[in-house]
Amino acid sequence: SQQGEEDPQALSIQEGENATMNCSYKTSINNLQWYRQNSGRGLVHLILIRSNEREKHSGRLRVTLDTSKKSSSLLITASRAADTASYFCATGGGGGGNKLTFGTGTQLKVEL
Amino acid sequence: SAVISQKPSRDICQRGTSLTIQCQVDSQVTMMFWYRQQPGQSLTLIATANQGSEATYESGFVIDKFPISRPNLTFSTLTVSNMSPEDSSIYLCSARPRNTEAFFGQGTRLTVV
């Protein structure tokens, strides 16, 4: 399987703390994306980082990419209870064409 | 961007029956994708649906079990055939209009009893 691995599988933090999730993948990529899923609903795109980029910011989100290590991290700063969700990384391009391959996911719980 | 309407949102079905899931996109897209997400798991790609040609299935998925239609550039259906309890999952359709970010329907939560 070419599915990426994410860690931790589950993360529980207090509101206001930062949450960091890591993703490792196996094949060459054109870009890496992060998605959020609330309670088994449809996924929502958060941020995309291209293979020639090392870091990207969007609001409270910061994504890094290290293609030499085939890994990425997603940092959510000043977390809120509403950030409680599952987060998935997805890789596209390389030999996979238009297909996206999703990681195993991190379940984040932000407690008040 | 693209908005995808998926229905039904959930269903409870008897084993041996079939369920057809529909997805409507608010813009024309070349490819649509169908995923399965088993309880507590990640998304697994079932097939890629191209307009005007047969769907391309991933390893472990076959057309007889998951027939797909793609009659035009805004619509696709996935049928889960001869269902068993092991087919209980969330099924998601997706599109990537510009080969960048993907947009998803809200998912169909299927329970087979």
pLDDT band at B97 (very low <50, low <70, confident <90, very high): confident
Cβ–Cβ below 8 Å for A42 and B104? yes
Question: Which residues of chain B does A48 touch, with a Cβ-Cβ cutoff of 8 Å?
Answer: 100-101
CA torsion B30-A30-A28-B63 (nearest 10°) is -10
**Region A54-75: what's the mean pLDDT?**
97
pLDDT band at A1 (very low <50, low <70, confident <90, very high): very low
pLDDT band at A93 (very low <50, low <70, confident <90, very high): low
pLDDT band at A97 (very low <50, low <70, confident <90, very high): low
In the block, residue with structure tokens 């870091």 = A55
Report pLDDT digits (tens) over A14-41.
999 999 999 999 988 889 999 999 987 8
Report which residue type is found at A41. Answer: R
Between A and B, how many CB-CB pairs are < 8 A?
54
How far B98 CA lies from chain A's nearest CA (Å)?
Answer: 10
Report pLDDT digits (tens) over B14-24.
999 999 999 99
With a cut of 80, say whether residue A98 has pLDDT above it.
no
Q: What percent of chain A has pLDDT over 70?
A: 93
